[in-house]
Amino acid sequence: MITVALPKGSLLRDSIELLKSIGFDFSAFLDSSNRQLQILDPTGTAKALLVRAQDVPVYVQYGQAQLGIVGYDVLREKQPQVSHLLDLGFGGCRLSVAVKASSPYRRSLDLPAHGRVASKFVHCARDHFRQLDLPVEIVPLYGSVELGPITGMSEAIVDLVSTGRTLKENGLIEIEILFESTARLIAHPLSYRLANDGLDRAIAQIREAVLTPARS
């Protein structure tokens, strides 16, 4: 039995579609009236856990799931001890620095020393400003990060941008990209090395499905 940790939120639908293309049906997670956090595929050969995006690598690192699907952004932020197998191509976004459009800042280095930067990606943000040798205070938030500059709590944010709509509708602009992100397939390192439970076959099928442009 293979167990796969799936992220709630933005990546869930594409993750379920990908697994469906290799014969595992976890579409029950898309039914909003369903409250189950663990479901068996109807064939009884695989199980899926529904977890918060940041928790996917935790279940994989500790071996409760042999496989997981998670954004590269989360891997950069959490640095989990997992095997990084494959870029799945969906969930494209980027981690960027953004400021109020009306502010004078147009690159990270324009920000004032000891200014504040709000982010859910505390480690990535800290690394970015450390590399620039610009001392800033990172303010950890859990969501709606854009409110940092809007309310005046912070001069800037480090947050995910996809279409750019959230920034635009909140009067912010992107001034620097830290890195691009897509969804990744990760594995529990020991399980991957031992390749038990048809794991090898499932990984090969996922690889094949990702390389084949149209999923059925």
Do residues 45 and 2 touch, judged by C-beta distance below 8 A?
A: yes
* Number of residues assigned to the chain: 216
Q: Do 202 and 22 form a contact (C-beta atoms < 8 A)?
A: yes
Q: Does 144 bind ligand ATP (CB under 6 A)?
A: no
Angle CA(174)–CA(177)–CA(183) in degrees, nearest 5?
110
Binds ligand PRP (CB under 6 A): choice among 34, 36, 38, 162: 162
Task: Report if residue 115 touches ligand PRP, rule: CB under 6 A.
Answer: no
Residue 165 contacts which entry, ligand PRP, ligand ATP, none (Cβ below 5-8 A, type-dependent):
ligand PRP
Segment near ligand ATP (CB under 6 A); pick from 16-24, 56-64, 71-79, 99-107: 71-79
Measure the CA–CA gap between 108 and 99, rounded to whole angstroms.
Answer: 9
Of the residues 32, 143, 151, 214, which one makes contact with ligand PRP according to CB under 6 A: 143
Using rule CB under 6 A, residue 88 touches ligand ATP = no
* Residue 58 touches ligand ATP, criterion: CB under 6 A: no
**Cβ neighbours for 198, distance < 8 A, ≥ 6 positions apart:** 2, 45
Which partner, ligand PRP, ligand ATP, none, binds residue 144 by CB below 5 to 8 Å per kind?
Answer: ligand PRP
Indicate whether 7 belongs to the interface with ligand ATP (CB under 6 A).
Answer: yes
Looking at 139, 161, 199, 209, which residue binds ligand PRP (CB under 6 A)? 161
Where on the phi/psi map is residue 133: left (φ > 0), alpha (ψ -120 to 50), or beta? left
3: β partners: 47
Please say which residue, 90 or 197, places its beta carbon nearer to ligand ATP.
90
User: At how many degrees (to 10) do helices 199-211 and 12-21 cross?
Assistant: 110
CB 96 within 8 Å of CB 158:
yes
Confirm or reject binding of residue 10 to ligand ATP (CB under 6 A).
yes
The site for ligand PRP (CB under 6 A) is made up of 143-145, 159-166
